[in-house]
Amino acid sequence: MTQLEIAMTILMKTFDEYAAMEGNKDTMNKTETKCMLEKELPGLLMEAKNQGEVDKLLKSLDFNGDCEVDFSEFVVLVSALTCACHDRCLQKS
């Protein structure tokens, strides 16, 4: 597999792992999403100044307002964070 295929597989497996923790296997509820953020993106949560910011982030992931994060919403989060990291790296160069 190519590096991009491996990255895509990791994204799918990561989402599926956390979505399978409770209830609906096709979405992550607030608890599953928070767990995913704590384990997979700990630096992001450490940068948050308070719990309100974390709650705001979790709510902003739910584009369709169903109180769940589906795979498309998860991919948007990962893409946005990747773009932000890429931009930050370019500024440091």
Strands 69-70 and 27-28: antiparallel
What is the tally of structural domains in the chain? Answer: 1
Give me the helix-helix angle, 51-61 and 71-92, nearest 10°.
Answer: 120
pLDDT at position 21: 96
Q: Is the CB of residue 14 less than 8 Å from the CB of residue 39? A: no
* Ordered mean pLDDT values, 10 residues apiece, the chain (93 residues): 97 98 93 91 72 72 85 90 73 63
Tell me the β-bridge partners of 69. 28
Query: Where residue 35 sits, what CATH number does that domain have?
Result: 1.10.238.10
Could you tell me the residue range of the domain that residue 57 belongs to?
3-92
